[in-house]
Chains A and B, each alone.
Chain A
Amino acid sequence: MEYTIAHQTTYYYADSVNESYTVLHLQPRSDPHQFCTKFAIDVTPHARINSYADRFGNDVQHFAILPPHDALSITTRSNVVTMLEHDPMPPFDATRAMLEADPKVERFYDFLHESSFVRFVDEGATFRAEFGDPGESLGVWCTNVMHHIHASFSYDTDATTVRTTVTEAIARRAGVCQDFAHIMISVLRAAGIPARYVSGYIFRGESRVLGAEASHAWCEAYLPPYGWVGFDPTNDRAINDHFVKVALGRDYRDVSPVRGVYRGGRQSEMSVNVAMDVLAGYQTPAPEARRQQQPQQQQ
């Protein structure tokens, strides 16, 4: 499939701000399963964009706007070709023994331990007990964890914010894709399975999927012999060519699409628009572009 994605984030400040510095994780990755053929950024007020590759291999852009301004708008346009035409087979052959024998695992310290949003709290332990012991068959167990999270949590955009911790989301049994990904990551890491956070987009197509209004998030588990395997607990499905991967990290904090620091007025409002259209490869009736707007909290 080939997509074109327009992602617009706008901040409105009640009082004008200045010296605002912004870091972006918005450029789709290129890897064996997808290829980013075009990426362009437009920032208003005008700013010069600089970039670097972070330690996860994400391409990071950043810019600064020094003079006073009362709004900031960032628009990215990307074209991405995804190549996983069929849903991958469930990773049912992955075993604990294979994981333990894998020499790469010792380098995944960060994906096996707590991070800013992923905490091994007591409430989490009670919750984790619901999944039972992973046993030998890690692939099956991970898939069950995904099913269970999907079944026992409700998708509710009002229940949580970008700062919600795993504990709070578990207590409410509700959240959005970011929370579900964090919860699944915490369950996997606590069970000794390397797990990382993925931010990206999901194509809505003709069916109802959750998280398609804005950036989406899911998680990946390291399951030899497959390597990194994606799970989308929000939609209870494997990762196929409807998913576009933007950035990888320990959790949301490493890959938040837009984060920044500025001087001046505290109050702000933010709006996000994501439009994801198919350019090629989609056979069913032509999809309409989805444009929705929802207010979100400033990160």
Chain B
Amino acid sequence: MKKLMLGNEAVARGIYEAGATVVSSYPGTPSTEVTEFIAKLYDEIYCEWACNEKVATEVAIGASFGGARSMTAMKHVGLNVAADPLYTASYTGVNGGFVAVVADDPGLHSSQNEQDTRNHGKAAKIPVIEPSDSEECKEFARMAFDFSEQFDTPVILRLTTRVAHSQSLVEEGERLDYKLKDVEKNPDKYVMMPAMAKKRHVIVEERCEKIAEYGYDCPFNKMEINDTKIGVITCGISYQYAKEALPDASFLKLGITYPISEKLVKEFASKVDKIYVIEELDSFIEDYCKSIGVDVIGKEIFTRLGEYNPQMIKKAILGIDGPESLTVDEQIPVRPPVMCPGCPHRGMYYILKKLKLKVCGDIGCYTLGALAPLSSLDYCVCMGAGIGMAHGMEKARGAEFTEKLVAVIGDSTFIHSGITGLIDVVYNKGVSTVIILDNSITGMTGHQQNPTTGYTIRGEETRNVDLVKLANAVGIERVVVADPFDLENFEKVVREETAAKEPSVIISQRPCALLKTVNYGAPCIIDEDKCKNCKMCMGLGCPAISVVDGKITIDASQCNGCTLCMNVCKFGAIRKVGDK
């Protein structure tokens, strides 16, 4: 019987069916569940959270060289971190099949940019395959390993958010009993020094041509000839949108979007009157078509921004508007994401705001500290960037500037790419203050274990990184552990460390409020007799506290009883339900 599966779950299933045995990834929306499903469902596969995408990719490459089928999964920006090993693994090729699952995020549901992974594929000369629903996710993931071994190449399986996070029906198959390939000594293939790499580059270029030829008649690409007045070349989720919008049109659905089969595109062009290329983000297929002299319409009528949908395709090609809809005649307040009630970051940001510090940050739940009312975080570029940026600001504006400057970084992010930044500060005589937010878990991506938590992806106990010792070991002498809900002490610590004339680390330690082990008991309540309506508690930006009919009120269904608001109330007007 067919099963309803998330795209990411189906990818995991395909990897399982292909007989893969090693998986190493770093979490990142919308790719995270691929690896989580493998950890949860398939004990036959060794599975780990790596420190970052580069390490994960190297682990998967090593497993491939070791003769196993291996996989790494990451979000689009993770591929930037992993690019170094991946670009040269393109030269070495593989032993056991090796697949990198990379999930793009058009529309930026949970990302800092909208980069298009197909460009990486082209630049690295690695084939890119793109499924358009869960069934294809499973099949493409399964077939990707044969493909990888047939052409001796890493393969990028590109997803986008709507493919990764949509559920559709999947037919499950059997797992291949894959035998480890022999490990042979072959420095010409596996040692990329100039003399060897020069020769491998020749092979890589030939391989690209061969894969393009293979694309003419392969299970990934599909031509559907219907009414020939309109032809559509498309890929991934755009195929589904276009099929709904233009059910009668002819389609060339590219499952391999790099390298593209010239013969296939030209054959399709010969069968239809007019061709539209419908692809989210960059004009990747379109540029290729134009480069081989096939006349297509693409970004002249479609955007490079965000996600597509059937209505916009219908409007752009057929000029047909969507159905008439109900209207709302007033401005509706937006509802951006917020830090949860009980979030440990809230106490920290409250102090950073109070002290009017500049805050260099990066990627995680704590990026939400940029939003009102805390409005504390000033800079966010990429994972781990906060520390380097703070150091750069110091070098630009002088050491005195660091008295009003901190870097904030999550525990998992610090392991991912903060450690090198910290060493840079020490080595180059910086005096920055770095706050590591140790909340005992990787938060934003939905609670993954990491090297600081003491548990593996499968919940087994393991050694954990001691952040204090690590900071000491790289040369930080001032390391302070502080509870961000003890506001008085936290403020004192931040004041002292930012004033210090040497680099320092503050470990802001309190577990994520969503962890099952966290239980603050009864919710808080406002004592109306004592409340002076001063709104100090509102400054915390806790979603459970708001003004209802002119009075400060705590929503008991949202409050988790963390008592941070009690700490900021000067009139003792907040207490726990049940307390006097």
Q: Is the A/B pair a real complex?
A: no
Interface residues of A (CB under 8 A from B): none
Interface residues of B (CB under 8 A from A): none
